[in-house]
Amino acid sequence: MSAALLEVRGLTKRFGGLVATDHVAFTVMPGEVHAIIGPNGAGKTTLISQLAGELHPDEGEILFEGRDISRESVPARSLLGLGRSYQISQIFRDFSALENVMLAVQAHAGHSFSFLRQAMADSRLVEPARAALAKVGLQGRADALVAEMAHGEHRQLELAMTLASNPRMLLLDEPMAGMSQKESEEMIALIRDLKGGYGIILVEHDMDAVFALADRISVLVYGRIIVTGNPDEIRSNREVKDAYLGEEEAA
């Protein structure tokens, strides 16, 4: 059995008297989609922010490919292969799709910002940016102005920007947020296509997406993981139904 890509051990974060994550522990294997679900206020955002490096834990460890990254910065984790997408899109609306991804490529490479006119002639930026757009199905929208793109395309673009950093693990924070049913279905298909090539942590409220994509699911309630299991185990778990899924999932 292969070693874990990510291992979280006893991760704890306090804000005064509030324990936002309480000795959280789980693993993500190479190529696995591991979903984190739970009610609002459960600590999901705090957890993913610790994994990304935006918050440092008060206790516990985060091991990525066996290396302790618990105190590493966001840029250092990105260079090691940890890429995060955000619940709220982090894109430049006055730039084209291609220009946005080129900036992500440039930032990951550690280059200082150059005039975009000059950058557009730099194949070291253009080629990987076009490749990332192709991975998310936006190759035909490279020259589209972001302000004129649909919400679902914005989420695809953000994912392309994350892929531009050549990650080995993706931290996907509510990728279906604000999407229509059709857009959600398209995003599910996209993540399914990426599955296997990356370890993926999926934080998501859309249970159809979670059960369609996840290999394993951890349920976070009041900062603690109450159970981890495959989708069938989570659907049938009485404690999970009571805490989060509700009686409608029993059907």
| pLDDT tens digits along 223-233 | 999 999 999 99
**What share of the chain in percent tops pLDDT 70?**
90
Domain that holds residue 178: 1-81+168-251
Residue whose C-alpha is closest to residue 29's, from 65, 60, 55, 83: 65
In terms of domains, do 161 and 179 share one? no
In terms of domains, do 111 and 230 share one? no
pTM: 0.90
Average pLDDT of 185-189?
96
**Per-residue pLDDT, 87:** 57
pLDDT of 28 > 90? The answer is: yes
Residue whose C-alpha is closest to residue 168's, from 109, 84, 82, 105: 82
Average pLDDT of 80-97?
84
Query: Scanning the structure block, which residue is given the tokens 């979280």?
Result: 8
pLDDT in tens, 125-178: 899 999 999 999 999 999 999 999 999 999 999 999 999 989 999 999 999 989
Determine the Cα–Cα distance for residues 183 and 161; give it in Å rounded to an integer.
Answer: 19
CB-based contact 230:217 (threshold 8 Å): yes
pLDDT in tens, 35-70: 999 998 999 999 999 999 999 999 999 999 999 999
pLDDT in tens, 99-130: 999 988 887 776 555 545 555 656 788 999 99
Average pLDDT of 84-91?
72
Domain end (from 140, 166, 192): 166
**Per-residue pLDDT, 167:** 95
Determine the Cα–Cα distance for residues 191 and 200; give it in Å rounded to an integer.
Answer: 9
**Per-residue pLDDT, 23:** 98
In terms of domains, do 162 and 172 share one? no
Mean pLDDT of the chain: 90
pLDDT of 15 > 90? The answer is: yes
In terms of domains, do 77 and 93 share one? no
**Per-residue pLDDT, 179:** 92
pLDDT band at residue 248 under the 50/70/90 scheme? very low
**Per-residue pLDDT, 242:** 82
Domain end (from 166, 189, 205): 166
pLDDT of 247 > 80? The answer is: no
Number of folded domains that form the chain: 2
Cβ contacts of 251 within 8 Å, gap of 6 or more: none
pLDDT of 88 > 70? The answer is: no
In terms of domains, do 97 and 159 share one? yes
In terms of domains, do 172 and 249 share one? yes
Domain end (from 145, 166, 187): 166
Give burial (CB, 10 Å; 0-12/13-18/19+) of 200: buried
Residue 113: strand, helix, or coil: coil
**Per-residue pLDDT, 90:** 73
pLDDT band at residue 89 under the 50/70/90 scheme? low
